[in-house]
């Protein structure tokens, strides 16, 4: 569905009952996707977030980069960490 509407997901997390994904804010493409999804699914949408991707991370770097921001979603592999953060501007 995302590919059919030319929406690129930068991060996807799937559980048994939910799907979360991050995409760049391209208004026309996202509006088209949201209108299709709204017909069949309950959605929660958040704007003004930041996706942080760090390769070859360590805990000190992660703490420094996330300092003062709220982590909404986090994924880590052996070499890469990705976090969806509320940016400082969106916390006002």
> What's the pLDDT at 4?
85
Looking at the fold, whether 53 and 88 belong to one and the same domain comes out as yes
- pLDDT digits 0-9 by tens, 16-62: 999 999 999 999 999 999 999 999 999 999 988 999 999 999 999 99
Looking at the fold, whether 35 and 5 belong to one and the same domain comes out as yes
Looking at the fold, whether 41 and 53 belong to one and the same domain comes out as no
pLDDT higher than threshold 70 for residue 82: yes
Q: Mapped to the 3 state alphabet, what secondary structure does the chain carry?
A: CCHHHCCCEEEEEECCCCEEEEECCCHHHHHHHHHHHHCCCCCCCCCCEEEEEEECCCHHHHHHHHCCCEEEEEEECCCEEEEEEECCHHHC
> What's the pLDDT at 65?
94
Looking at the fold, whether 11 and 37 belong to one and the same domain comes out as yes
User: Total domain count for the chain?
Assistant: 2
- The answer to whether 54 and 65 have CB atoms below 8 angstroms apart is yes
Looking at the fold, whether 37 and 58 belong to one and the same domain comes out as no
90: containing domain: 48-92
pLDDT higher than threshold 90 for residue 92: no
Looking at the fold, whether 60 and 76 belong to one and the same domain comes out as yes
């Amino acid at each position: 569905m995302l590919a059919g509407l030319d929406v690129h997901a930068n991060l996807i997390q799937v559980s048994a009952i939910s799907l979360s994904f991050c995409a760049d804010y391209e208004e026309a493409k996202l509006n088209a996707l949201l209108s299709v999804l709204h017909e069949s699914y309950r959605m929660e949408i958040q704007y003004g977030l930041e996706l942080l991707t760090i390769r070859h991370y360590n805990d000190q770097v992660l703490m420094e980069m996330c300092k003062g921001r709220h982590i909404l979603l986090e994924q880590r592999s052996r070499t890469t960490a990705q976090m969806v953060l509320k940016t400082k501007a969106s916390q006002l």
